[in-house]
Amino acid sequence: MTTNARIAVPQGVKPTTNVTKGFDLSQKEGYRLNVASRSESPASGRGTPVNVPSADSGDDLKFSKGKEKLDPVVLYRKERGDVREHLYMVVIGHVDAGKSTLMGHLLYALGQVNQKTMHKYEQESRKLGKQSFMYAWVLDETGEERNRGITMDVGSFQFETKHKTITLLDAPGHKDFIPNMISGAGHADVALLVVDATRGEFETGFDYGGQTREHALLVRSLGIAQLAVAINKLDTVSWSQQRFDEIKVKLRTFLRQAGFRENDVAFVPCSGLTGQNLVQEPTEKELLSWYNGPSLIEVLDNFKCPERPITKPFRFSVNDLFKGTGSSFCVSGRVETGFLSVGERVLVCPSRELAVVKGVAIEESPKQFIFAGDQASVTLSGIEMQNVAVGFILSDPGNPVQISSKFQAKIVVFNVTVPITKGFSVILHHQSLVEPAVVSKLIAQLHKNTGEVIKKHPRFLSNNTSAMVEIQTTRPIALELYCDCKELGRIMLRVSGVTIAAGLIMKIIL
Amino acid sequence: MKLIYKELDKDGEGTICVIPEEPEDMWHAYNLISEGDSVRGSTIRKVQSESSTGSSTSNRVRTTLTISVENIEYDTQGCMLRLKGRNIVENQYVKMGAYHTLDLELNRKFTLRKHEWDSVSLDRIETACDPAKNADVAAIIMQEGLAHVCLITPSMTLIRAKIDVSIPRKRKNFPQQHDKGLVKFYDNVLQALLRHINFDVVKCVLIASPGFVRDQFFEYLFQTAIKTDNKVLLENKGKFMLVHSSSGFKHSLREVLQDSAVIAKMADTKAAGEVKALEKFYSTLQMEPDKAFYGKKHIERAIESMAIETLMISDSLFRCRNFALRKEYVQIVDAVKEMGGEVKIFSSMHISGERKS
Ligand SMILES: Nc1nc2c(ncn2[C@@H]2O[C@H](COP(=O)(O)OP(=O)(O)OP(=O)(O)O)[C@@H](O)[C@H]2O)c(=O)[nH]1
Ligand SMILES: [Mg+2]
C-alpha cells in the first residue's frame, strides 16, 4: 500500500494503522488546548502530572479553537518584533583546525567570558600540560574533552554582534564524532568552516577522507547555504598572502562543486590562538600589508537570517533528554516549523504518545512561546522518559508528523569504496536520529543534473551517481516528505564511518 | 535449542527432547532427524464428527502424535520441518499405521528417538543447545548509550545482550548529568559482560567503539574489578583487545573483524576468512563491475563465458528443499569447480553473510 499520506489523509486522521501505543486521534479530531487557560501553569513543571490526557476529551473540545485564534505571524511580531535577529551557526572543520580555540578566543574578546574564568582555565590547562587549549576550554567542558584536548560533542554559546544574536554550535572535528556534528549542523542556519593554514595540515583536511571536505558536503546536504571560511592559524605561515590565496582558490572550486553559490561564501584570515582579526582591527604588519577586509565578527554579522516557517504545523526534533525539577523531564532540540506555547499538548513520535508541555525555555530562560528556528528545551509531563528518545519528533496532535519504516528517497552518492547494491546496510541520519537501515531497492539511476531516469533497476550505484532508492529501517521513524517539510525531509547515509550519500524523502510507504 | 531431557542407554539407543528456539535450530533439527527415527510432537488434526441428528461438523484439534519418519521437508521460509510417516503410538484421532504429517515449529517441543545416537548427532545436539560453547571469541561493540555483547562462533554471531540507554548530552554549565549517565551505562555493559562471557571458553574479548568509549569502558571495567576484587576479570585482563569501529550498531562488527590485528588474533576462524572473501567481491564490483556478478541469472551467464574465479554462495541456498532449485545451485557449484574456480560457501547466519543475501 503506497500512499502519499500527507495529501491523501484528512487532517487529524492517523495515517497508519499499526498502532502499538498512544491515542486514536481520529476520535478527537483537531482538538487543541486554549493557550491562555494553561498559561498560569508553573514552568517548573511541579504541577500535577497528567497521566492519561485522553480521559478529559470533553474538556478539550471547549478549547478546541484556541490555537486557531493565535495568528503565528501576529504573535511572532508581538513576541519577537523588538528583539534582534537570532541566528544559529555551526562551526565545522577538520580535527584540530582550531575551531574551539577560535570561538573561545572570540567569546573572550567579546567579553562573554570574564577574565577570572579565563585565568582559571589558563592555570588548570597548564597543569595538564595543555595550555594551548585554554581558549578551547570555554567550549570543551567535560573532563574527557579537556584531558584529551579534543571536542567530542557539540558545545554551544550565545553572543551578540552589532545587529544579531548568534548561538554558536562548536562541532567536533574528529571523524568518529560526525554523528554529533550532524545533529549540531541540523540545528543551524549557517556554518563557519575553519581550516588550518599550516603547511601540510590544510592538505590533510582537504584530501579525500578529510573532514574539511566531508563537513562541507554534509552541511550543504543539510540545507545550509551560507558559509564563512576562517583560514586559521595564519601565524604559523607568517601571515603569508600567497598561502591564504592558495587555500582560498582550492576551497572556492571545491565549494562551488559542493553546491555553494560564490556570493554566499566569505573568506577571512585569522588566528584563534593570537586573536588576530577576530574582533579588533588587525595589528600584524604582514597581514595589514595585503588585507583590509572585514574581521571575523563582521563577517558573522553579515550573515543573512533565513525565513522562519512559523505558519506551518508544529514540529520539534529532539536532540537531548535530561531530568528537570520534580517528576518532569526536559527534551531539548529545535523547533523545525510552527510554534508552541506552554500548556499545549504534543504528540511524541514515533511512539505516538501525548504529552503536556509544562514549560519552554531558551538558553535556560523560561518563555511563553517558542517559534520555528529556536533551539529550546521543553518540559514534558504525562509521559514516561523511557518513551522518548533522541531523534524523536514532537508534533501538533491535530496535524501530526508521519510515521513509517519504509520510504523512497532521491539520493546523491558521494565517494564510496564499495558500490551500493540492493540490500546494502547503512546508518541513516535523519535530524538527530541515527538508525540502522537497508537500501531495500534500487529503483532508478537518475541523471545528476536533469533528474531524468537513465536506467531502471540498476544493479549497483557507484561514485557520483544520483538515484531513486527505497530505504527500510528496522523500527518506524517520524519523518516528512521533503516537499512538505524540508527540515524533516532530508536524510544522510553513512557506512563504516564515512558519509556515502545524502538524499531527500520523496515518497513515504506505509 | 533447549534440552528438556535426554535418556540414552549404553548402546546409544534412546530419546532426546528439545525445544527449537532460533531459526538455526530448525537447521540443526533437519540434520539430526533421519528416516527410521521416531518423532513425537504436537500437530493439528482435522476431525469429522457426526452429531446425533446426522449433520457432520469438522473440527481442528491439537494432538500429540508419534510417527516413524519416512520423509523430511525443510521449509526455510516458514522456518518449519515437515515430517511424514506412519503413526506408531495409539491415538484418539489417528489409526495405528496410518500416514500422517508432523510439523516441527519454533518454540514447540519435540522428542526424537533413535536406535543409535552416534557421536556426530550427539555433538550436534550439544552445539545446538549451547552455541556459546564453540564461541571462543566475544565482542562488545559499543558507542555512547548503545552496546551489543556478542559471541562469535564459527558459524554465526550471537547477540547475547543489547544495552540501549539515553545519556544526557553535554550541556553548557551542566556536565554532571552526562557523566552520571555514562557511568550507569558502563555498569550495565559490565553486568552483561559478566553474565554472558564465560572466560573458560572465551580466548579473546574484543571491545570495539568509535572515539574513546572503549578506552573509558575498559578503564571503568578494571577499576571496578579491582574495587570488587573480581578475580575472573583480573586474571583474564590479557584476553581483552581494544579495537576501533565506526559505530556501536551490530553490523559494525564486520569492520572489526577486518582489522588486521583482529584477523591475526583469530586467523584460523571461519569468520575472518568469510569477511575477506566478501570484501574482495565488493571491491571487484567497484573497480571492474563487468567482472563481478551476483544473482543466479548473472552467474549462469558468467559460467557460459567460463569467467568465474571465485564463487561465493550462501549455504542457505543449499538448505532449501526445493529440489529443482537446489540442483541448479549444485550444478553451478560443480561448473565453477570444473573450470578451476574457487567456491566459498559462507554461512547466511553470519554477519558477513547478511550483506549478500
Ligand atoms: N599556532 C596556532 N595554533 C592554534 C591556532 N588555533 C588553534 N591552535 C592550536 O590547535 C590545537 C587544536 O585546537 P582546538 O581549538 O582544540 O581545535 P578544534 O578544531 O576545536 O579541534 P576538535 O574540536 O577536536 O576538532 C590547539 O593546540 C590550539 O592551541 C592558531 O590560530 N594558531
Ligand atoms: Mg574543538
The per-residue pLDDT for range B153-165, each reduced to its tens digit, is 665 677 888 999 9
Buried residues in A233-272 as b, exposed as e (16+ CB within 10 A): bbbbbebbeebbeebbeebeeebeebebeeeebbbbbbbb
The pLDDT value recorded for residue B267 is 63
Per cent of chain B over pLDDT 70 is 71
Same domain, A332 and A416: no
Residues A35, A38, A40, A46: is their CA dihedral positive or negative? negative
Buried residues in B258-288 as b, exposed as e (16+ CB within 10 A): bbeebbebbeebbbbbbbeebbebbebbbee
Query: Is A47 within a domain?
Result: no
Residues A288, A292, A297, A303: is their CA dihedral positive or negative? negative
Mean pLDDT across the stretch A382-391?
91
Choosing from A395, A413, A429, the residue where a domain stops is: A395
Q: Fill in the amino acid letter for A67.
A: K
> ∠ CA A476-A172-A202 to the nearest 5 degrees?
125
Mean pLDDT across the stretch B208-234?
94
Residue B70 or A83, more confident: B70
Domain count, chain A: 3
Same domain, A241 and A364: no
Mean pLDDT across the stretch B137-151?
92
- Expressed in angstroms and rounded, the spacing between residue A151 Cα and the centre of ligand 2 is 4
Same domain, A340 and A265: no
Same domain, A175 and A257: yes
pLDDT band at A39; cut points 50, 70, 90: very low
Query: Is A44 within a domain?
Result: no
pLDDT band at B235; cut points 50, 70, 90: very high
Per cent of chain B over pLDDT 90 is 31
Same domain, A99 and A233: yes
Looking at every residue in chain B, the average pLDDT score rounds to 78
Residue B265 confidence (pLDDT) above 80: no
Same domain, A192 and A326: no
The pLDDT value recorded for residue A241 is 95
Cβ(A235) – ligand 1 distance below 6 Å: yes
Residue A37 or B26, more confident: B26
Q: Which residues from chain A sit within 8 angstroms of residue B171, using beta carbons? A: 320, 322, 332
Same domain, A113 and A255: yes
Residue A416 confidence (pLDDT) above 70: yes
Same domain, A218 and A98: yes
Domains (ranges, CATH) in chain B? 2-128 (2.30.30.870), 137-268 (3.30.420.60), 271-356 (3.30.1330.30)
Q: What is the pTM of this model?
A: 0.75
Chain A CA closest to residue B280 = A418
- Expressed in angstroms and rounded, the spacing between residue A272 Cα and the centre of ligand 2 is 12
- Going by alpha carbons, the residue nearest to atom 30 of ligand 1 is A233
Residue B179 or A392, more confident: A392
pLDDT in tens, A251-305: 999 999 999 999 999 999 999 999 999 999 889 899 999 999 999 999 999 999 8
Q: What is the CATH number of the domain that holds A199?
A: 3.40.50.300
Q: Which residues from chain B sit within 8 angstroms of residue A416, using beta carbons? A: 286
Query: Is A335 within a domain?
Result: yes
Q: What are phi and psi of A241, to 5 degrees?
A: -65, -35
Task: Report which of A301, A502, A329, A332 is spatially closest to residue A409, judged by C-alpha positions.
Answer: A502
Q: Which of A319, A320, A497 is opposite residue B246, by nearest beta carbon?
A: A497
Same domain, A291 and A355: no
The pLDDT value recorded for residue A288 is 92
Question: Could you list the residue range(s) of the whole structural domain that residue A232 is in?
Answer: 86-301
The pLDDT value recorded for residue B50 is 75
Chain B touched by A176 (CB under 8 Å): yes
Residue B229 confidence (pLDDT) above 90: yes
Instruction: Please name the residues between 121 and 160 in chain A that touch chain B, using a CB distance below 8 Å.
Output: 141-145, 148, 152-157
Q: Give the pairing of strands B2-8 and B14-19.
A: antiparallel
Query: Is A28 within a domain?
Result: no
pLDDT in tens, A121-165: 999 999 999 999 999 999 998 888 999 999 999 999 999 999 999
The pLDDT value recorded for residue B335 is 67
Mean pLDDT across the stretch A27-32?
35
Choosing from A301, A332, A355, the residue where a domain stops is: A301
The pLDDT value recorded for residue B356 is 38
Are residues A443 and A453 in contact, defined by beta-carbon separation less than 8 angstroms? no
Choosing from A337, A365, A395, the residue where a domain stops is: A395
The C-alpha of A256 sits at a distance from chain B's nearest C-alpha, in angstroms, of 27
Mean pLDDT across the stretch B126-154?
83
Measured between alpha carbons, how far is A27 from A5 in angstroms, rounded to an integer?
Answer: 19
pLDDT in tens, A421-480: 888 889 999 999 999 999 999 999 999 888 899 999 998 898 889 999 999 998 999 999
Residue A496 confidence (pLDDT) above 80: yes
Query: Is A23 within a domain?
Result: no
The pLDDT value recorded for residue A32 is 36
* Residue of A150, A151, A158, A322 to mutate for B, most B C-beta atoms under 10 A: A322
Query: Is A349 within a domain?
Result: yes
B99-105: strand order across its sheet:
B2-8, B14-19, B110-114, B38-50, B56-75, B80-87, B99-105
The pLDDT value recorded for residue B296 is 61
Task: Report which of B37, B39, B104 is spatially closest to residue B74, judged by C-alpha positions.
Answer: B104
Q: How many CB contacts within 8 angstroms connect chain A with chain B?
A: 91
Residue B293 confidence (pLDDT) above 60: no
Chain A CA closest to residue B211 = A176
Residue B9 or B257, more confident: B9
Q: Which of A148, A155, A460 is opposite residue B212, by nearest beta carbon?
A: A148
Same domain, A352 and A420: no
Mean pLDDT across the stretch B242-262?
85
Q: What is the CATH number of the domain that holds A494?
A: 2.40.30.10
Same domain, A387 and A410: no
Query: Is A4 within a domain?
Result: no
ipTM exceeding 0.95? no
Looking at every residue in chain A, the average pLDDT score rounds to 85
Per cent of chain A over pLDDT 90 is 69
Query: Is A466 within a domain?
Result: yes
Same domain, A122 and A222: yes
- Provide, for chain B, the percentages of residues in helix, strand and coil under a 3-state DSSP scheme, each rounded to the nearest 5: 40, 30, 30
